[in-house]
Amino acid sequence: MPNAQCSKRLKEKMSVHKRERLLTSAIRIATAADVPRGGRDTTPFWTPELEEIEGKIHNCKPSVSQDRLGARRREMLRQASHKRWKTLCNNMAVADGCC
């Protein structure tokens, strides 16, 4: 709703309960329009290899192999995170002029 319409609606005489419902409705509509639906954001370290392992984990039955794939996925994420951290630290050191 444009600001002019909002101002006009607020100046109208109405009960507190009706104003509360209108305000709540406006907040819900704005939230639905701006907040993305779905799960969490993917990690910045996500790679096609991790996507492949994730698919294998979801397709296999609970077993030792699923546990191994999960451990491999965690290890790959840990390595990617560490690599990104080292790159970031190196870039910061160069930017600061200390190296």
Residue of 9, 31, 30 lying closest to 20 (CA atoms): 9
pTM recorded for the entire structure: 0.47
**Dihedral angle at the C-alpha atoms of 30, 31, 37, 43, nearest 10 degrees?**
120
Q: What letters, b where the CB count within 10 A reaches 16 and e where it falls short, cover 56-85?
A: ebeeeeeeeeeeebeeebeebbeebeeeee
Domain definitions of the chain by residue range: 3-34, 48-96
Q: Would you write out the chain's pLDDT as a tens digit for each of its 99 residues? A: 567 776 776 677 788 888 889 889 989 998 888 777 766 666 667 778 888 888 888 888 888 888 888 899 899 889 888 888 888 888 887 666 655
